[in-house]
Structure 1
């Protein structure tokens, strides 16, 4: 029985890492040059059209050159990556903060931008995410599952005291994403 379970786990481990997709992308490098190349993404073994975004938000990004060879690049060589994912959605990843990696641009407003960082659990390699709101003056806050959303949003939007009451009345336990969207929208009006 142990032998069967270990063979099954090895098979699933190999299968999970063999699922890859090459996606055409428009790449803006940190030095200002623009290139069109294919990026290597890991795919889900359970969902046909789902990619793991952390394939390009972690330390290394793998590009496929014209000869079909993999090239490994550090994330700090990139400024912006645009591509259409396997579901047909346009996706944009940028590097707005120098000390961090690539973040997905969720919404772009005149006063603030909303990004999402994708993380990977070292325990089971599952993917998680952290939302980041960055104001035009460079001030930012990161929001994860353990964040006190009300406190951090009040600090970030302290230049608009009108939002404090809305933030206080919003229920971040049941509808975190919609509350965050409303605060983002009201701040950018």
Structure 2
């Protein structure tokens, strides 16, 4: 039905266009590309929104026998979906079996690791603040020509270096927090909050 309609529509459009070109005295070969664009624009909605044969808007439902017909050999494998709660329960059950001594050892380990990275981050933050203040002072002095360009550049390099160290220390702290999170370690252990 759709094919007949689109063919009929195409014929009607072509007849009307050829009649127009014959009566107007315009050469048809000059407007052939334009005419094809119009035909495509008119016919495209009919082919795109054509009826697929089902009058109702309900979805197509397949039976089990139809699904079995197209079943792949890889579909027989069962997939295991482990949810977060299942993983937590597994961790809790495994940690309940371990002696208290192992838990205390883990607490101390993560506490020392967290403290180590926090101290490095705090030290880098202090160095950056000091370098920033020093740079602003040197910048003012350089503006008034009180110090040389080499001293100014040295201070600027030190500021850039301390900024790089701060970013690296914060990244390392973030990495250790992510590692602890992936190992199901409570966040308080990194802060020595038992």
State the TM-score, normalizing by the size of structure 1: 0.18
Greater strand percent: which structure?
1
State the TM-score, normalizing by the size of structure 2: 0.17
Greater helix percent: which structure?
2
Higher RCO (CA < 8 A, seq sep 6+):
2
If you compute each CA radius of gyration, which structure gives the higher value, 1 or 2?
2
